[in-house]
Amino acid sequence: MQRLIDRMFVETFSGAEPADRHDGAILDLDGGRPAFTTDSYVVKPLFFPGGDIGSLAVNGTVNDLAMCGAKPRYLGVGFILEEGLPMGTLWRIVRSMRQAADAAGVRIVTGDTKVVDQGKGDGVFINTSGVGVVRAGVSVSPRNVRQGDAVILSGDIGRHGIAIMAAREGLEFETEIASDCAPLAEPVARLLDAGVAVRCLRDLTRGGMASAVIEIAEAASVHIRLREDAISVREDVRGACEILGFDPLYVANEGRFVAFVPQDAAERAVEVLRADPVCRDAHQVGSVVAGRSGEVTMTTRLGTSRAVDMLSGEQLPRIC
């Protein structure tokens, strides 16, 4: 998928400036700096522990704006409805979107609806676009990452992908694994309000933590070193991954992100993030070090070193 995006969409749609490989675009509009992003949601099943396609569509786009250092303000929504979709199902989704928007402090102000023939869709697909505002003096971008920076992870990883997989396949574990789906604008605002020099932010969605960090290493031409023992994975998630043959490092999340900050600001960044309920397990999991640019390596629990490679294909399709 990443190769398709890079070789077709980025090459065709980019202008003279090199693509920034950000979660959204920062625009220069009459002296202001709005951020703009769009995303589509085709998750299956529509409802899962910890969320549904409606809350996911709102939080996903809100989080893309937050990763640009922007305060999310307005959303637009497009529905592709399959003929025969029960109205009760659509009402549940729409109400969930309203609740998620209220919780994230954004307004849904425009939209569109189309209907496709029965059997030509999977209930409902949703596209959400969002606009936010980047405050003066804030610059959050992969291009800002420097050798010596600390990598901060906002919490445990892997719950969203495993929750979807369990719901889809009817798998049962000793404890219910709920998605981590959540808005991230508030913890990002806390970092900026605290004066932490945030270099770069990235939420850990498709491709999980590994793909996100590799993308940043490539975009910034730096070498990133992770510590396996510092990356939090719940035991039930780890067990499910072992049963299913997944590496939690590549499993998608919808309420987790990494922040790159100068090493001397790392302790403060962790303290600020832990004050937010969504990020109470935040901690430093790595650093930007001297080494081959564009690569990510990991110090394992055994003290050995291994390369972290980009996943070929998708480990779990239709998770967002």
Per-residue pLDDT tens over the stretch 115-157:
999 999 999 999 999 999 998 999 999 999 999 999 999 999 9
Q: What is the pLDDT of residue 312?
A: 72
Could you tell me which residues come within 8 angstroms of residue 113 by beta carbon, excluding any fewer than 6 positions away? Answer: 78, 79, 81
Question: Collapsing DSSP states into helix, strand and coil, what is residue 94?
Answer: helix
Instruction: Spell out the residues 6+ positions from residue 137 whose beta carbon is closer than 8 angstroms to its own.
Output: none
Residue 72: burial class (beta carbons within 10 Å; 0-12, 13-18, 19+): buried
Give SS3 for 167.
Answer: helix
- Say if strands 200-203 and 124-134 run parallel, antiparallel, or are unpaired: unpaired
- Tens digits of per-residue pLDDT, 41-52? 999 999 999 999
pTM: 0.92
What radius of gyration, in Å, describes the C-alpha atoms of the chain?
19
Residue range 53-74, pLDDT digits in tens = 999 999 999 999 999 999 999 9
Give the DSSP letter of residue 6.
I
CA distance 71 to 189: 8
Q: Where are the beta strands (DSSP E) in 57-138?
A: 70-82, 107-116, 124-134
